[in-house]
Amino acid sequence: LIGITEPKDGDLSEWYQQVILKGDMLEFTDIPGCYIYQPASYRIWEFIQDFFNERIRKMGVKNCYFPLFISEANLQREKDHIEGFAAEVAWVTEGGKSKLEKRLAVRPTSETAMYSFYSKRIRSHRDLPLKMNQWNNVVRWEFKHAVPFLRSREFLWQEGHTAHLTEEEAGKEVMEILDHYASIYEDLLAVPVVKGQKTKNEQFPGAYYTKTIEGYIPAVGRGIQAATSHCLGQHFAKMFDITIEDPKQDVKEGEKRNKIHVWQNSWGFTTRSIGVMVLIHGDNKGLVIPPRVAEVQVVIVPVGVTAKTSAEAKEKLYNEIEGLRTVLEDASVRVETDMREGYSPGYKFNDWELKGVPLRLEFGPKDSQNGVVTTSRRDKDGKDTIPIPDVAKKVPELLETIQKDMFNKAADEYAAHRKIVRQWSDFVPTLNDKNVLLVPHCLGGPCEDQIKDDSKGNIEGQEVDARAPSMGAKSLCIPHDQPEPIAEGTKCINPKCGQNAEKWVMFGRSY
Ligand SMILES: O=C(C[C@H]1NCCC[C@H]1O)Cn1cnc2c(c1=O)CCCC2
Ligand SMILES: [Mg+2]
């Protein structure tokens, strides 16, 4: 089993493919865009599920499950929502030997499946707020080049769908969910994100507004949409007739109450997050897994055992290693020992480094004599020692330090590549330096499209990074944290626009 043969700053997609394959995260199948999630990646998905389930349960969200298939009639209930995506819907047209009367859509998302039920389920304001979520798989028959985890034809996600009496209550939940999404990335995956709102151009057509968290992949200098939380307004309620009688209306005896449409949200978080984590933290030795989502946080490897080591010395050492494992298990550390005979320590180190195990403890006769274990962090070169009596306390602390250091390193990298650009002549050169840009923008859709066109390809003398095909920059979000007030009379960055700038908008090439 050799290591990664392509450097991360070489052919990135080759590096990425080797890292996820040799790290046993994912396996290809004979269907393009459909992948096997091996236990190593599925365990990370379970950490995410446990974390998020705990938080949404506190919000009164209940998990449920709706059918994989959606009738064409149901899917068409919301016209413009689907029109924009029709090309991505996969259909079932045969059952066994017979053709189906009516073809069935494989769910690409479940708004239309759930909201005809919501129309029945929600009769009165006492049924509100209704908060349901499902963990499932969806299929989108994208033709864009598939990238494992980041862009696949089938992916796993959770999709939350809620109904509220007022816009305010819906808006509060949209933000609460966005914060939980940011927390999954930042506190679990050690991946920094920028919170913001999608521009009209980039939001999902069925939404009233879309809140988003945007990541950044330093290796290729592109942004990536990390998760979205939408307020749908009353649009779907009108399409699906989800109404209640107005509880605030004072009616005279026998007078009919007015019907009002509910306010809805929908929010989604996908297995793309696993790919983002790999791309940001992985290195030339393979995966680097943040301790909070590492199935194996610590691996103990015996060292210094040679043919000359006496049987009793070996026995003694192995017993001490077992002792260390017990102490760590009792300290709630997820620990493994690698006692495989016939494999050198170096071979074992390489193996566990490929798997991204955050911390290795080396333990040999010399360590035993000195009363220490030797530590080797996966995220940093170099070794250190911990006195054996301190292991139960120091190892968990060291794991937390690794988690924090991984996040801070990625956050510094993102901050260093998020550049304020005030004039158009700086836009493409700064973009080509693997940056995302913060620019004063008019928020106009056509202007965004123009910027996308005018930022394709390279400019004289500045070779666009060969890996980032000459795609243009699109708007990623209007960051909640605006860098500074927009000075009176500031013009939109796009010289062809001429409008006043309304907000600082983050632009970038993206996945
Ligand atoms: O899925 C959403 C909105 C919403 N769906 C639920 C989770 C949150 C959020 O993603 C947008 N969207 C994206 N892609 C597609 C569709 C679609 O509605 C429908 C048809 C196929 C492709
Ligand atoms: Mg899409």
Residue-wise pLDDT for 44-102, tens only, equals 999 999 999 999 999 999 999 999 999 999 998 877 667 777 789 999 999 999 999 99
Ligand nearest to the CA of 138: 1
Q: How far is ligand 1, taken at its centre, from the CA of residue 222, in Å?
A: 22
pLDDT at 463: 42
What is the mean predicted confidence (pLDDT) over 400-421?
98
From CA 217, how far away is CA 510, in angstroms rounded? 9
Residue 274 alpha carbon to ligand 1 centre in Å: 20
pLDDT at 36 over 80: yes
C-beta 66 within 6 A of ligand 1 = no
Ligand 1 atom with least separation from CA of 108: 21
* Percent of the chain whose predicted confidence (pLDDT) is above 70: 96
| Segments in 59-166 forming alpha helices (H) | 72-75, 79-83, 111-121
Mutate-to-test residue for ligand 1 from 56, 66, 109, highest number of ligand atoms within 8 A of CB: 109
pLDDT at 288: 98
Q: Which residue has the higher pLDDT, 144 or 173?
A: 173
CA of 167 to the centre of ligand 2 (A): 26
Cα(151) to ligand 2 centroid in Å equals: 9
pLDDT for res 369? 96
Ligand 2 centroid distance, CA of 181 (Å): 19
- The residue-averaged pLDDT of 348-362 equals 98
User: Beta-strand (E) ranges in 125-176?
Assistant: 130-139, 154-164
Dist. CA 468–CA 226, nearest whole Å: 19
Whole-number average pLDDT of the chain: 95
Strands 418-420 and 436-441: parallel
416, with CB counted inside 10 A (0-12, 13-18, 19+), is: exposed
Residue 298 confidence (pLDDT) above 70: yes
Q: Which position has the higher pLDDT, 205 or 321?
A: 321
Q: Which atom of ligand 1 is nearest to the CA of 204?
A: 11
Which residue has the least CA distance to atom 22 on ligand 1? 85
Please determine, for the modelled complex, whether the ipTM score is greater than 0.90.
Answer: yes
pLDDT of residue 1: 59
Q: What is the pLDDT of residues 428-487, one digit of tens each?
A: 999 999 999 999 999 999 999 999 999 997 544 444 444 445 789 999 999 999 999 999
Task: Give the mean model confidence (pLDDT) for residues 104-113.
Answer: 96
The answer to which of 60-64, 246-250, 488-492 has the lowest mean pLDDT is 246-250
pLDDT tens-digit map of 255-294: 888 999 999 999 999 999 999 999 999 999 999 999 999 9
To the nearest 10 degrees (0 to 180), the angle between helices 391-416 and 272-281 is: 90
Average of pLDDT values for 31-50?
A: 98
DSSP conformation letters of 485-507: PPPTTPBPS-TTT-SBP-EEEEE
Atom of ligand 1 nearest to the CA of 266: 8
Could you tell me the end-to-end alpha-carbon distance of the chain, in angstroms, rounded to an integer?
Answer: 31
